[in-house]
């Protein structure tokens, strides 16, 4: 009976996981269908930082016949994925929450909300701060005899890579809080490893951004600032010794 009950519980968890995954995918699909009509407008909005720095008579081009259709289509699909991020996290939370204590829920809810805000903050920082700087730099260093005509597909790959890099990088404070709260590491241990973190930030930025020093620096510096912010916030989430552990220490 015990094994049957365990098997039944395992199957019910799998069914619930499947249902929540289906809801998450459905949310992406619904948002995509509501945005696909505006696919060209969305691409124009994302391309605006580049357009602002192009020479007066220059424009973007499509080197592939299907690119004018698939580039905005692909961007809209990723936009739907980014916009559905809160609902996806809500489904993840709904799956793991029943196995948590009430105190754990109270501590993790602010982290969940912070992760959503930081993710969107990273994308916004990339679009409004990083893009104008790096695009202005790259479009202004070429020789005058060269006419800059960026390909729409190449620009889309460049944009999505940076959006993803900055969205994930801005989750550093959340990762630090979770590591300290779970007892995997401590604030003091992370402070001791600060020199390695500095080197690691630039190495990670090198892999996540295009192969240029400017993009890597613009990602690495916020990562280091977010690391320091994570250390401050982790002081409120550090794992406290249990009463039994305290008695044993005494």
pLDDT reported for residue 237: 67
Q: Is 162 contained in some domain? A: yes
Confidence of residue 128 (pLDDT cuts 50, 70, 90): very high
pLDDT > 80? residue 18: yes
Arithmetic mean of pLDDT over the chain:
83
Say if CB 218 and CB 207 are below 8 A apart. Answer: no
Q: How confident is the model at residue 239 (pLDDT cuts 50, 70, 90)?
A: low
In a domain, 178, yes or no: no
- Position 247 scores a pLDDT of 42
CA atoms within 13 Å, Cβ hemisphere of 186: 6
What pLDDT is stored for residue 120 in this prediction?
92
- Which 3-state string (H, E, C) describes the chain? CHHHHHHHHHHHHHHHHHHHHHHHHHHHHHHHHHHHHHHHHHHHHHHHHHHCCCCCCCCCECCCCCHHHHHHHHHHHHHHHHHCHHHHHHHHHHHHHHHCCHHHHHHHHHHHHHHHHHHHHHHHHHHHHHHHHHHHHHHHCCCCCCCCCCEHHHHHHHHHHHHHHHHHHCCHHHHHHHHHHHCCCCHHHHHHCHHHHHHHHHHHHHHHCCCCHHHHHHHHHHHHHHHHHHHHHHCCCCCCCCHHHHHHHC
User: Averaged over 210-236, what is the pLDDT?
Assistant: 84
Query: What pLDDT shows up at residue 143?
Result: 63
- 29, part of any domain: yes
pLDDT given at position 121: 92
Whether the Cβ atoms of residue 111 and residue 178 lie closer than 8 Å to each other: yes
Note down the domain range covering 148.
2-170
Q: How many domains does the chain have?
A: 1
pLDDT in tens, 93-123: 888 877 777 877 777 888 888 888 999 999 9
> Each residue of 143-202: pLDDT tens digit?
666 677 888 999 999 899 889 888 988 988 888 888 888 778 888 888 888 889 889 888
Does any domain span residue 199?
A: no
User: Is residue 239 included in any domain, yes or no?
Assistant: no
- pLDDT over threshold 70, residue 249: no
Q: Is residue 188 one of the residues assigned to a domain?
A: no
Is the pLDDT assigned to residue 41 strictly greater than 50? yes
Q: Is residue 180, in this structure, part of any structural domain at all?
A: no
Is residue 127 in some structural domain?
Answer: yes
């Amino acid at each position: 009976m015990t094994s049957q009950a365990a098997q039944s519980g395992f199957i019910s968890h799998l069914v619930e996981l499947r249902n929540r995954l289906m809801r998450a995918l459905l949310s992406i699909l619904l948002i995509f269908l509501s945005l696909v009509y505006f696919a060209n407008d969305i691409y124009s909005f994302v391309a605006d930082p580049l357009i602002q720095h192009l020479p007066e008579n220059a424009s973007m081009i499509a080197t592939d016949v299907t690119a004018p259709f698939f580039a905005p289509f692909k961007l809209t699909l990723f936009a739907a994925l980014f916009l559905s991020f809160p609902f996806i996290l809500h489904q993840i939370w709904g799956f793991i929450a029943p196995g948590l204590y009430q105190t754990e829920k109270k501590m993790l809810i602010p982290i969940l909300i912070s992760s959503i805000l930081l993710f969107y903050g990273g994308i916004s920082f990339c679009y409004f701060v990083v893009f104008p700087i790096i695009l202005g730099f790259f479009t202004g260093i070429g020789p005058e005899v060269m006419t800059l005509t960026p390909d729409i597909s190449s620009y889309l790959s460049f944009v999505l890579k940076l959006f993803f890099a900055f969205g994930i990088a801005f989750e550093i404070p959340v990762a630090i809080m979770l590591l300290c709260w779970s007892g995997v590491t401590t604030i003091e241990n992370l402070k001791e490893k600060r020199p390695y973190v500095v080197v690691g930030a630039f190495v990670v930025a090198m892999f996540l951004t295009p192969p240029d020093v400017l993009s890597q620096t613009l990602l690495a510096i916020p990562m280091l600032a977010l690391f320091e912010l994570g250390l401050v916030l982790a002081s409120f989430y550090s794992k406290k010794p249990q009463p039994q552990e305290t008695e044993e220490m005494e």
